[in-house]
Structure 1
Amino acid sequence: MTATYDHTGRHVLITGGTKGIGAGIARAFAAAGATVTVCARTPPPVPSSSPPPVPSPGSSSDPPLGPPSSPPSGSPPSPAPGGPVRFVRADVRDPEDVERLLGGFSRLDVLVNNAGGSPHAPLAGSSPRLHARVIELNLVAPLLLSQRAHPLLKDAGGSVIMIGSSSGVRPSPGTSAYGAAKAGLHHLAACLAAEWAPEVRVNTVVVGLAATENAAGHYGGAFEQVGATIPAGRMARPEDVAAACLWLAAPGYVTGAQIQVHGGGETPAWSWLTSAEIAR
């Protein structure tokens, strides 16, 4: 059985929605009929064979985002059938950009705080500013976006979905600031769920090792071997994360939840070292 969702007439904002997991979430909501806005610091690439950009709707119920002088909308990520998708340039770490972004909405049903990430940066000897920026992106930005979006979400009876990470629930060597920020993000979601209930629901999708366009380089070329360490036999795909988001965004009772999308987690290294296959 395949679950389907109808988000027709609903307005969804996805941060960092131009590539990877964010683009997968955007495609899924568009296919479900939602009007989708994605934001990022840079527009998505526009292939020569792609259709013209989707214009920002101009009706009074859905005004274009940003002032007339703001950069024009880019091409939506991998257009899908269903509702329209539009791009708005914004750095979610910048309070002024957050204000401009959210100020363009007259209705918002779902906020997906997906923008995040970190370079590999061992704590010893690396720049304090780098770690501060990682925490700003992965924790402070979702807090500010959720705070600014709250009145709109409350009016719509909407929800916030935080895209968390397994790095926030187990050691994250080499990305300590990222792991700490994601742990904080998980707790922030739980706090907001209690603070904003019952008008606004807040949940977290905790993503494990994921197969995106950057995965092969990130895992040192050992893509298949790393996937084999996951009980499900492969890394999570953007559509796996998107399916959880579609469910959490549908009107319902669930709030304050952490949905683990990790294929059963990561097999402990000791179990590989002590297995009969490795031992011989």
Structure 2
Amino acid sequence: MANPSYDFTHRRVLVVGGTRGLGNTIARRFARAGASVTVTGTQSLRSAYDARLQDYDYQRLDLTNHDSIVRVAEQVGPVDILVNAAGARVPHTADAQEQEFVSHSVRLGLLGPTQLAHRLRHRLAESQMRGGGAVISTHHLRRWCEMAVGGANAHTEMLNTTSRLAAAWGSNGIRVNAVASTVVVPRQAPQRGDLDKESGPVLTRTRTQRTGTLHDVAEAALFLASSGAAFITGQTLMVNGSGAGGARIAH
């Protein structure tokens, strides 16, 4: 079955964390739908990544650094759609005091994806899309919430953050939604992916059953950004497959 068809021609999309994994999948999907896409990563040069990034504008962004957030917000230009798909990573060289400072700043909203969204709010409000500008968060937002409130309350905080921003920014014509997913990387993959246990049950079906992919999550993100979801805001869409047990979503 073919994927749904979307037309994002002339729309400007910023995918934070668009250099790899789910973020890169979402960036490619928006580009195929006609959007002008900017991706961010933590490396100085786009050539440092394995993914093909030549089709996108590239901005270096460290969400744990205030100056980096300000610089990107000033340089990125107009934005219709902001996708948060960057994981929470504190530099390995940071000592315990520095790590606590970052966590405290995230808790106050001074660092992380929420701070970037706040700095882009006025540009999102200028979007001429039906339904207004759109902010789409992925399960990576949960990792930032863990830094702020701890693992036990992270999923609830992700839901609350989405609904709070949607309520606050609705009068500005900005929609805020999220996609929560269970991501499992196959054994042959070099890295272990994020496993969001609270976003839905993990399936233990045999290999003959349907297996979801990052493309399934990307399609949900594009739907929430599209005119078809123009009157949907403050919602977290659970992408965990069909049937009682949910599906396995893999790289």
Residue in structure 2 matched with residue 52 of structure 1 by the alignment:
none
Report sequence identity in percent.
Answer: 29
CA shift digits 1:94-120 (9 cap, x unpaired): 12111111111331000001111579x
Report if the CA contact (8 A) 2:19-2:49 is conserved. no
| Residue 102, structure 1, aligned to residue 73, structure 2 | yes
Match of 1:86 in 2: 57
Match of 1:245 in 2: 221
After the TM superposition, which parts of structure 1 deviate over 3 Å for at least 4 consecutive aligned residues?
43-46, 74-80, 127-140, 165-168, 176-183, 210-217, 230-236, 264-268
Counterpart of 1:107 in 2: which secondary structure?
A: coil
Alpha carbons 1:160, 1:201 under 8 Å: kept: yes
What is the identity, as a one-letter code, of the residue corresponding to 1:106? G
Give the 5 Å matches for 1:109-258: 109-117=80-88, 130=99, 133=102, 140-156=111-127, 157-164=132-139, 177-178=150-151, 180-198=153-171, 199-211=173-185, 217-218=191-192, 228-229=203-204, 233=209, 236-251=212-227, 252-258=230-236
Change (3 A) 1:45 1:200: closer
Deviations 1:24-65 (A, max 9, x none): 01100111111111111116774xxxxxxxxxxxxxxxxxxx
Alignment partners' CA distance in 2, 1:78 and 1:266: 37
TM-superposition CA deviations, 1:209-254 (whole Å, max 9, x none): 24389956428xxxxxx97526994664221111011111113111
What SS class does the counterpart of residue 113 from structure 2 fall into?
helix
Q: Which structure has the bigger radius of gyration?
A: 1
Contact 1:228 1:234 in 2 (8 A): no
Residues 5 and 97 (structure 1 numbering): CA distance in 2 closer, same or farther, change over 3 Å? same
Aligned 8 A contact 2:87 2:140 in 1: no
SS of the aligned residue for 1:8 comes to coil
Which letter does structure 1 place at the counterpart of 2:239?
Answer: V
Aligned residues: 220
Letter in 2 for 1:101: V
Gaps of 5+ in 1: 47-73, 120-126, 220-225, 269-280
The residue type paired with residue 233 of structure 2 is T
